[in-house]
Amino acid sequence: MEQTNNPKKGMAFIIGASSVGTLIEWYDFYIFGMLATIISKQFFPEDSGTSALLSTLAIFAAGFIVRPFGALVFGRLGDLIGRKYTFLLTLILMGGSTFAIGLVPGFKSIGWAAPLIVLALRLVQGLALGGEYGGAATYVAEHAPPHRRGFWTSWIQTTATLGLFLALGVIILIRDTQGVEKFSDEWGGWRYPFWISLLLVIVSILIRLKMSESPMFAKVKAEGKTAVNPLKESFGHRANFKMVLLALFGGVMGQGVIWYTGQFYAQSFLENTVKLEFMQNREILLWSIALATPFFVLFGWLSDRIGRKWIMLTGMLLGVIFYRPIFNSMLKSADVKEWSKTKYSFLKDEIKITMYKGDSVLEIASSYETHDKSRFTRVLIDTLKKGRTEIQEVEQIIVATKKAVYNNKILSPFLKWKFILLIWVMIIFVTMVYGPMAAFLVELFPTKIRYTSMSLPYHIGNGVFGGLVPFLGTLIVEFTKTKDLALGDPLAGLWYPIGIAALCFVIGAIYLPNKIDNNVMD
């Protein structure tokens, strides 16, 4: 089987066709997470915001939990019937379920049927994603010449981050065009990203239909050497199962937490802990992703020269060392107490009195601007007794010892670029661990059970360990809440990714080989 004589144009088509589909699957998967707050309001009862958010997070987690099952189901199919038709099927399932989520009426219209349908569709999304990546990575790797496998597969590795970029961009564009209120309505603009998916998927399916089967799989199939039972051969025999475990604990587990901390957790931290304004938070992430994405390809290329292992492990180690200083720097840089030490000016007051559960609630939002053009809003909220809305009563309560909340922070241009740099650095760690990952996984397993064998550790590491970073991070912060520290230690959530990345680094450093497998045809 000739592996090295693919014409460049053919290779570009193979990579393009595989990558576009994978990118769309990531896009589909991420829009749900990014719109979690709105989705929780639309599909869950309004009795408690926290309850709704947690319900959505549970669905979010469920999406990640079913990914390993998707890896098993579609990995098996991919090793039995071929890569091409399997990742075509995952694309259809993903596109269909994403589009359908955008069509489900809210809780107000159909009651508990709404969250149940959304949960079911989310599970289908998770299953489909579980089958997609392994197929695309295997397909490209099985076409690539050995000395460029890291480089070519690194294009597939850009798709997860670019999917995030696309999802962010589409949401921001629609929200900005439509306005926040209309965007958040039951049938508002938040549904458009789900509907757009259908168009993207149709285009991608048409492209993928033109692709041919992987040459290595075609050869194995022609020789009648395909696996009879890929699951048993992958996980039932020690010789292969030990490599599955090694891939998971010595590579993908650390990659997963680095990926999610640098991108998702960072975004959630800026929004919920630092209290950055919605649009600026997204803008910072978009810039960082755009500037860091070429490094996936750079590190993929580099891995063809110096091996995969130490590039990936260095990325993990840097995360372990620098996460706390980076997050701490962001927290301190946006601390209003620090901003208030220098001169700042008052911009405006917005006073609202609304009813909440039979009480009248007062909210005073005062906006300020610092000398270097950072802005923040100081919000005082208090509950007034029924019928006590007279201004003099209000003033008495404002003067009382109520704690102000600072939110909607807009960073000055200097601080904004500082934050972009900090997030960029964390995404560089991501590119180091993730860029060479596909080539690394492909080279660990034989052709006939490759799809199954590499998909499971990938989706446990990335989906479970990585996907639960925001969930477990929030949970750990909850544990640190005391009477004296009502909000808990805002950096405590980082101990989970730091611990997992450190453990993975030790295992990888000691157990993993640094060889580049020139022959993945067998």
Partner 1 sequence: MNNLKKWLGVVWMLLSPAVVVFMILQAVDKINKATDATKANVTLQWSIILIIFFPICIGFLIFGYYGFKGYYDQLPTKSSEITDY
Q: Which parts of this chain interact with partner 1 (CB under 8 A)? A: 48, 50-51, 54-55, 58, 61-62, 65, 233, 237-243, 245-246, 248-249, 445-449, 460, 464, 468, 471-472, 475, 479, 506-507, 510-511, 513, 515, 519, 522
Place of tokens 């997860």: 160
225 touches 433 (CB < 8 A): no
Closest C-alpha among 140, 132, 58 to residue 91 = 132
Closest C-alpha among 342, 338, 326 to residue 270 = 326
Count Cβ atoms below 10 Å from residue 400 Cβ, excluding itself: 9
Least distance from C-beta 186 to partner 1, angstroms?
A: 24
Q: Which is nearer to partner 1, 359 or 517 (CB)?
A: 517
Output Rg (C-alpha) for the chain, integer angstroms: 25
Least distance from C-beta 253 to partner 1, angstroms?
A: 9
436 touches 310 (CB < 8 A): no
Distance CA 276, CA 282 (A): 10
Q: Which amino acid is at 255?
A: Q
Q: Which is nearer to partner 1, 54 or 231 (CB)?
A: 54
Q: Helix, strand, coil % (nearest 5) of the chain? A: 70, 10, 20
φ/ψ of 409, rounded to 5, equals -70, 135
86 touches 451 (CB < 8 A): yes
Q: Which is nearer to partner 1, 54 or 290 (CB)?
A: 54
Least distance from C-beta 511 to partner 1, angstroms?
A: 5
* Coil vs helix vs strand at 38: helix
φ/ψ of 363, rounded to 5, equals -135, 125
Q: Which is nearer to partner 1, 51 or 109 (CB)?
A: 51
φ/ψ of 179, rounded to 5, equals 90, 150
Q: Which is nearer to partner 1, 409 or 459 (CB)?
A: 459
Q: Which is nearer to partner 1, 48 or 383 (CB)?
A: 48
Least distance from C-beta 425 to partner 1, angstroms?
A: 30
Q: Which is nearer to partner 1, 262 or 461 (CB)?
A: 461
Helix (H) or strand (E) holding 409: strand 405-410
Q: Which is nearer to partner 1, 2 or 47 (CB)?
A: 47
Least distance from C-beta 477 to partner 1, angstroms?
A: 13
Least distance from C-beta 480 to partner 1, angstroms?
A: 13
Taking the CA atoms of 509, 515, 521 and 522 in sequence, report the sign of the dihedral they define.
negative
Least distance from C-beta 235 to partner 1, angstroms?
A: 10
Place of tokens 């597939």: 156
Least distance from C-beta 473 to partner 1, angstroms?
A: 13
